[in-house]
A and B are shown apart, each in its own frame.
Chain A
Amino acid sequence: MTKRNWLLPAIVGIVAVALPFIVQGDYYRHILILVLVWITLGTAWNLLGGYCGCVSFGHAAFFGLGAYGAGLLVFHAGISPWWGMIVGPAVAVIIGIPIGLITFRLRGPYFALAMLALGEIFRLVFTNWVSATNGAVGILIIPAFTSKVAYYFIGLAIAAAGIYTVYRLMHSKLGYYFVSIREDQDAAEALGIPTTKYKMYALIPSALLTGLAGAFYMNYMAYIEPGVVFSLPEISIMMILVTMVGGAGTLWGPVLGGALYVILAELFRTTFGAANVLVFGIIVCLIIMYLPDGFIGDWPKLKGYFRRGRKASYAGGE
């Protein structure tokens, strides 16, 4: 790795660690923590969806499983939900494996819809199976820390670990397999790559990271209910939009997307009140129409818009 490649992440890292001390006020720290959660979620989805090409519309299933993995420990056994940070992701992976085995035979939109249906099934089951999950009443715990700074660093650790994992995976042989599956699954098969096995290798870290974010969510928000953590529009679809807006198949895309989403959503909520989702929807449409590879993915194109004077710059690049 060249020195140039290390510089940007190092700067980002230093800023990230310093942020909770620069930014005063629990409300703003809360926003930062949400940003970290969404960065994690985007990165997790991106591994399976952006890099490996399996667009899942049902990742909320893993998020909810992670969250309930932690919450049910308290609900049924009175065990501290911090153990959920291990149990949650484990449950997400254990259930993720058979899900993958079933759904990986499907391609493209069919796979997307199957995952969507699964996400919804989990939501309905967790809502109606009251004895097991407390149903729509949800699970409330008393948060362990009052200071948000502690949560921020845990969230930061999770997000950083997620990004690093994806980085290592994509720079290994596995990464090449993932991309080849995305680009042309049949050609990959023809070359002898066992696509289901490699898709599974993408799914497992993806589910694990999503579940981990879920368990963290339980510990931080201190309240979950099936309608929130298994939500199709709020979680599943947002995970996709966050990644797409930032740039699918790029490392920093989900980071940018996650930050943009949380900050814009909160900004719009306080300025536009009820119209915030509308504004967000319009932005999403515009991005998909004009920057279909997201901000990071279409970075060269964006740069091009800003440098109109130099017409010959495209070929040479920057």
Chain B
Amino acid sequence: MFGEMEKNSFSMAYDDLGDKTTINGRKIELLFEDGQGKPDIAKSAAEKLVHSDKVDMISGGYSSACTFPIAGAAQTMGVPFLDSTGAADKITTQGWEWVFRGTAAPASHYTGALFDFYDNVMHPKTTALMYENTDFGTSSADGYKAICEAKGIEVVFDEAYEAGAVDFKPMLMKAKAANPETCYVISYVMDASLIIKQARELDWNVDLFVGGAAGWTMPEFLENAKDASEYVASTTLWVPNVAWPGVSEYYNGYIAKYGKKPDYHGAQAYGTMQIIVDALNNAKEISYEGIRQSLLEINPTTVMGPIKLENWSDEFGHNYTNQNRPTTYVVQWQKGVLEVIWPEAAKSANYVCPVPKWSERK
């Protein structure tokens, strides 16, 4: 699902950017390789592109498990790599000068707007944390835990699960018994749908059910969870009604061309293509080093907002290189539409919090 969305978005951006893709008379050529979701194949594919196809730079990377080896390979080979989605922190905390991440935020920073919401609106004292035991899930969970500790929010329940389970009730029961005010659940879309449906079956109520990105914001979540998705909040890096230029053209254009709705992963791919074209146009010479320098210099405005690839540190001691500072939003499903509820300046609808109990709905 994601792979196709990203590939389509890359292609679409390529087409939309038209003339800009011809630089000094040479047309940019896009070569796609399929990593099949397996880290070792991803690494091989990256190496093939560089050694066999002799590409000038590589981009892409969806799952953190696959993106990290690609980044490592790029660093070793000395080839610029622009990560579009892979979110694990460690991709840009290694001090690797050849690895860039523009449209993706480090996993531990997905929650910026959420904690802002906590501080200004919710003031929760307790929370439950559940996450899949992958790279992405664990990174995000660690980030969330660290910030909760700093703010004095108690994590009363903390459990990792293996993705693909049929029955989450054992875990959800324990979460319910711990009686948290809110929760943060990091899942991909099918687990997310099952979790929320089973939470409803158990009649587990919290003030606000928050999902950690990815699965919780996708259109497939709405399709599979149906009305159980109502009032579920999440954090995200992009929504179709955010105010950056070209966003609605991308969104509507994608639906017209491919018949499906894209979500932030597609926007990341589209935005990444915009960065690439900008960098290649700006580069003084088309070589690995030339492109690398160019990436450091540019400041394009993309569908994900303005991008600046720079080095910075956060309050937890992470030192990021070539990383764009993240802009995050809190969104909430309301009547089947994903509305932005925070920050105030960007909102498209008012938040509903605390949410009505399951038994009070319908």
Q: Do chains A and B touch in the complex (CB under 8 A)?
A: yes
Residue numbers of A with Cβ under 8 A of B are 25-28, 30, 124, 127-128, 130, 135-138, 140, 142-143, 146, 221-223, 225, 227-228, 234, 266, 269, 273-274
Interface centre among B88, B90, B160 (most CB of A within 10 A): B160
| Contact of B34 with A274 in the complex, beta carbons under 8 Å | yes
24 A-B pairs within 8 Å (CB atoms) are namely: A25-B51, A27-B48, A27-B52, A127-B133, A127-B162, A130-B160, A135-B133, A135-B138, A136-B135, A136-B137, A137-B90, A137-B139, A138-B39, A138-B65, A138-B135, A140-B69, A140-B90, A142-B76, A221-B40, A222-B69, A223-B39, A225-B135, A269-B34, A274-B36
Provide the residues of chain A in CB contact with B90, threshold 8 Å: 137, 140
Cα of A317 to Cα of B133 in the assembled complex, Å: 59
Residue numbers of B with Cβ under 8 A of A are 34, 36, 38-41, 43-44, 47-48, 51-52, 65, 68-69, 72, 76-77, 88, 90, 133-135, 137-139, 160, 162
Cα of A140 to Cα of B72 in the assembled complex, Å: 8
Given known A-B contacts A128-B133, A142-B76, A30 and B47 have beta carbons under 8 A apart: yes
Provide the residues of chain A in CB contact with B133, threshold 8 Å: 127-128, 130, 135-136
Cα of A223 to Cα of B46 in the assembled complex, Å: 14
Provide the residues of chain A in CB contact with B52, threshold 8 Å: 25, 27-28
| Contact of A27 with B47 in the complex, beta carbons under 8 Å | yes
Cα of A98 to Cα of B294 in the assembled complex, Å: 58
Provide the residues of chain B in CB contact with A146, threshold 8 Å: 76-77
Q: Which 9 A-B pairs have the closest CB atoms?
A: A27-B52, A26-B51, A223-B69, A27-B51, A136-B134, A137-B135, A27-B48, A136-B133, A136-B135
| Contact of A228 with B40 in the complex, beta carbons under 8 Å | yes
| Contact of A228 with B135 in the complex, beta carbons under 8 Å | no
Cα of A274 to Cα of B160 in the assembled complex, Å: 31
Q: How far is the CB of B57 from chain A (nearest CB, A)?
A: 17
Cα of A250 to Cα of B329 in the assembled complex, Å: 62
Q: How far is the CB of A65 from chain B (nearest CB, A)?
A: 18
Cα of A266 to Cα of B36 in the assembled complex, Å: 13
Q: How far is the CB of B16 from chain A (nearest CB, A)?
A: 26
Q: How far is the CB of B244 from chain A (nearest CB, A)?
A: 32
Residue of A with least CB distance to B68: A140
Q: How far is the CB of A285 from chain B (nearest CB, A)?
A: 22
Q: How far is the CB of B107 from chain A (nearest CB, A)?
A: 11
Q: How far is the CB of B221 from chain A (nearest CB, A)?
A: 22
Given known A-B contacts A136-B65, A137-B139, A223 and B160 have beta carbons under 8 A apart: no
| Contact of A137 with B138 in the complex, beta carbons under 8 Å | yes
Cα of A169 to Cα of B193 in the assembled complex, Å: 56
Provide the residues of chain A in CB contact with B137, threshold 8 Å: 136
Q: How far is the CB of A152 from chain B (nearest CB, A)?
A: 14
Q: How far is the CB of B293 from chain A (nearest CB, A)?
A: 22
| Contact of A130 with B47 in the complex, beta carbons under 8 Å | no
Interface centre among A26, A138, A223, A234 (most CB of B within 10 A): A223
Residue of A with least CB distance to B134: A136
Cα of A177 to Cα of B12 in the assembled complex, Å: 65
Provide the residues of chain B in CB contact with A221, threshold 8 Å: 40, 43, 69
Interface centre among A127, A136, A146 (most CB of B within 10 A): A136
Of the candidates A130, A142, A273, which one forms a contact with B138 in the assembled complex, judged by CB atoms under 8 Å apart?
A130
Cα of A307 to Cα of B190 in the assembled complex, Å: 56
Provide the residues of chain A in CB contact with B44, threshold 8 Å: 30, 266
Cα of A266 to Cα of B45 in the assembled complex, Å: 10
| Contact of B51 with A143 in the complex, beta carbons under 8 Å | no
| Contact of B138 with A223 in the complex, beta carbons under 8 Å | no
Of the candidates A26, A137, A143, A222, which one forms a contact with B88 in the assembled complex, judged by CB atoms under 8 Å apart?
A137
Provide the residues of chain A in CB contact with B48, threshold 8 Å: 27, 30
Given known A-B contacts A127-B133, A137-B88, A137-B139, A225 and B76 have beta carbons under 8 A apart: no
Cα of A143 to Cα of B77 in the assembled complex, Å: 11
| Contact of A223 with B76 in the complex, beta carbons under 8 Å | no
Given known A-B contacts A27-B52, A223-B68, A228-B38, A143 and B135 have beta carbons under 8 A apart: no
Q: How far is the CB of B94 from chain A (nearest CB, A)?
A: 9
Residue of A with least CB distance to B64: A137
Cα of A26 to Cα of B48 in the assembled complex, Å: 8
| Contact of B135 with A26 in the complex, beta carbons under 8 Å | no
| Contact of A223 with B51 in the complex, beta carbons under 8 Å | no
Residue of B with least CB distance to A226: B133
Given known A-B contacts A25-B52, A138-B135, A140-B69, A128 and B34 have beta carbons under 8 A apart: no
Cα of A276 to Cα of B182 in the assembled complex, Å: 46
Of the candidates A137, A138, A143, A273, which one forms a contact with B34 in the assembled complex, judged by CB atoms under 8 Å apart?
A273
Cα of A222 to Cα of B43 in the assembled complex, Å: 10
Provide the residues of chain B in CB contact with A228, threshold 8 Å: 38-40
| Contact of B138 with A225 in the complex, beta carbons under 8 Å | no
Provide the residues of chain B in CB contact with A135, threshold 8 Å: 133, 138
Cα of A146 to Cα of B73 in the assembled complex, Å: 10
Cα of A274 to Cα of B7 in the assembled complex, Å: 15
Residue of A with least CB distance to B96: A142
Provide the residues of chain A in CB contact with B43, threshold 8 Å: 221, 223
Q: How far is the CB of A272 from chain B (nearest CB, A)?
A: 11
